[in-house]
A = this chain, B = another copy of it.
């Protein structure tokens, strides 16, 4: 049901299309027309992307067929079913074989596409991705990493976990530090990212017991993980210049993310109201238009649209459910960058290396005791 095969391809003669992105056209708040419009925006900017688009074939054929330049770069994969925002993840992994979301993830599983993008139900997408792609060997809890506008020169910080799992034990937080650093290296071009552990204060005696444990695990791992560990950081550092990567559990990360988005939106709305207040201020708004647009662009959540699932055998990008064409295009751009940089293989290599290093002391101990045994 999920695939109608490569035969659906509307030809690939559009030049050197190096990267294939798998896009779930359904499940977002704004329907497939918006997703296709986002694909078109991306296609226009990046001639090197090809797409596999998943959803009801007839509708997709109509939407994509309207855009001649796009049709040549899209494979359509028919899927009748749609995962809705209200579907429970536990149900979805049992019975969503016919959905566009399942099909989109399976394109990555099959190696046809490098990254999958979906605007659908986060919990369901994570559950499906875990089931179909499986966790990387050595990863206990995958995480969702988000980019956050910041005062740093690179313009963004990385926050993880933004909500893949409501729990994280100390070893999970160590893995988040490693994976977050890898993401910052490949996604933000930082050679040696600074990593901090989110807490209610920067002093070492503060916070929950598992955070002190995590602190003691992350500190000695920084050297081999090629990051700098700055210790505990606070909520005010998420958008600050003290760190590049902020590590926390998915419960706290999700609350922080939504609080930050809500606050930015509130201030933006208050700003609009302030400028609509008088004739003078309306006139001022016209004069300041360029500056205000630049501000809007800096804090526009659509520009940093895309939570990246880390710790799986394949990369999945979760776009905002309410994303418009610009938002979808931003999520695809992120997917493209990660695919081009070979991010997934680098991350997997880093995790594998960390596993070897964690094992090595034991092996060393074992072989040394073997030697001792031979000597005695």
Interface residues of A (CB under 8 A from B): 86, 88, 123, 149-151, 163, 166-167, 198, 200-201, 203, 205-208, 234-240, 248, 250-252, 254-271, 273-275, 277-278, 280-281, 283-288, 290-292, 294-295, 298-299
Contact A275 B291 (CB under 8 A): yes
Chain B residues whose CB sits within 8 angstroms of the CB of A86 once the complex forms: 203
Q: Which among A163, A248, A266, A285 has the highest number of chain B CB atoms within 10 Å?
A: A266
Partner of A255, one of B150, B166, B198, B264: B198
> How long is the Cα–Cα vector from A252 to B295 in the complex, in angstroms?
29
Collect the chain B residues with CB atoms within 8 Å of residue A200's CB.
163, 166, 250-251, 254-255
Q: Give which listed residue, B261, B287, B290, contacts A283 with CB less than 8 A.
A: B287
- Contact among B123, B207, B281 for A287, CB-based, below 8 A: B281
**A238: B residues at CB distance < 8 A:** 259, 262
CA A278 to CA B288, docked complex, whole Å: 9
Residue contact A235 to B207, C-beta cutoff 8 Å: no
Given A235-B258, A263-B267, 7 more pairs with CB closer than 8 A? A235-B254, A235-B260, A236-B261, A238-B259, A264-B267, A273-B295, A280-B287
Q: Which B residues are in CB contact (< 8 Å) with A250?
A: 200
The chain B residue sitting closest to A287, CB to CB, is B284
Of A163, A275, A284, A290, the most chain B CB neighbours within 10 A belong to: A284
On whether the beta carbons of A262 and B284 are closer than 8 Å, the reply is no
List B contacts of A207 (CB < 8 A): 166, 251
Residues of B within 8 A of A267 (CB): 263-264, 267-268, 295, 299
Q: Can you tell how many copies of this chain the complex includes?
A: 2
Is the pair A290, B271 in contact by a Cβ cutoff of 8 Å?
A: no
Complex Cα distance, B258 from A274, in Å, reads 25
B residues less than 8 Å from A270 (CB atoms): 295, 298-299
Do B234 and A258 touch (CB < 8 A)? yes
Who on chain B is nearest to A258 by CB? B235
Contacts of A298 in B (CB 8 A): 270
The answer for the CA separation of A75 and B88 in the assembled complex, in Å, is: 62
Which chain B residues lie closer than 8 Å to A251 at the CB level? 200, 207-208, 252
> Mind listing 9 A-B residue pairs with CB under 8 Å?
A151-B269, A200-B255, A239-B262, A256-B256, A264-B267, A274-B295, A283-B287, A284-B286, A284-B288
Q: Are A278 and B291 in contact (CB under 8 A)?
A: yes
- The answer to whether residues A274 and B255 also contact, given A151-B266, A163-B200 and a CB cut-off of 8 A, is no
Question: How far is B242's CA from A262's CA once the two chains are assembled, in angstroms?
Answer: 13
| Contact A259 to B284, CB < 8 A, known contacts A251-B207, A292-B274 | no
Known: A259-B236, A283-B287, A288-B280. A88 touches B205 (CB 8 A): yes
CB contacts (< 8 Å) of A281 on chain B: these are: 287-288, 290-291
Known: A166-B208, A255-B252. A262 touches B288 (CB 8 A): no
Q: Is the CB of A256 within 8 A of B259?
A: yes
A43: min CB distance to chain B, Å: 31
Q: What residues on B are CB-neighbors of A237 within 8 Å? A: 262
- A204 CB to nearest chain B CB (Å): 11
The distance in angstroms between the C-alpha atoms of A310 and B86, with both chains bound, is: 37
Contact (A262, B240) CB under 8 Å given A235-B257, A294-B274, A299-B267: yes
